[in-house]
Amino acid sequence: MDFIDDPPEISEQERFQRHNRFLRSLKSDTLLIIDNFNVSATQDSFLSVVLKYRCQILFTTRSKLDEYCTLPLKEIEDMNALFQLTSVFYSEADTYRATVEKIIETVHSHTFAVELAAKLLENGISTPDQLLTRLQVEKTSFHNEDKIKIIKDGQSEPSENRCYIEKSLLCNSGFVLATF
């Protein structure tokens, strides 16, 4: 993790000390979210340091951490909730509700795929019917010259995003953009 005022020549140890000093200053009215903490507690030597902070801490992880209080999150199964998510990114979702719901089913209700589809539709890259047809026919070989911007973990590198989408999020959803 980098802070905006980190000098480029700083060593890992110095970076850790600076960040740790700042994070220790956080009070209980602060929520620190550590996303994708996908190692076991015994594998991460810094976990014991982080757990001493006075702020509230929320980890997202795919790891099973039995020794801590956990709240498993399941996929969103409710079509109305997924449609509402689509509506956040696609202003004409209500007009094309039936087709949008079929798109949601085609991407297996995967929330990130739903978001990507909605952004494609909002940008006019495809009509709802065109997108649905292409998703049903082409599956993961979906190709489009147009681009939408995705930022993941502060990165917008197309190859990293594509790799992340293909391997982590959409491996079973049947929806991957060939180019960004």
* Residue 175 pLDDT grade (very low, low, confident, very high; cuts 50, 70, 90): very low
Same domain, 111 and 132: yes
Task: Specify the pLDDT at position 98.
Answer: 98
Predicted model pTM? 0.53
Same domain, 91 and 50: no
The answer to whether residue 178 sits within a structural domain is: no
Task: Specify the pLDDT at position 103.
Answer: 96
pLDDT tens per residue, range 151-174: 655 555 555 444 544 444 333 333
Alpha helical stretches, state H, the chain: 12-24, 47-50, 79-89, 97-106, 111-122, 128-138, 158-164
Task: Specify the pLDDT at position 171.
Answer: 37
Query: Of the candidates 136, 134, 131, 105, which has an alpha carbon nearest to the alpha carbon of residue 118?
Result: 131
The rounded distance, in Å, linking the Cα atoms of 129 and 131 is 5
Same domain, 117 and 45: no
The rounded distance, in Å, linking the Cα atoms of 36 and 10 is 25
Distance of CA 118 to the CA centre of its chain: 15
pLDDT tens per residue, range 61-117: 877 777 888 888 787 889 999 999 999 999 999 999 999 999 999 998 989 899 999
Same domain, 60 and 121: no
Residue % of the chain over a pLDDT of 90 = 38
Same domain, 21 and 44: yes
The answer to whether residue 176 sits within a structural domain is: no
What are residue 152's DSSP bridge partners?
155
Give me 123's structure tokens.
């940008």
Domain hosting residue 141, numbered range: 79-169
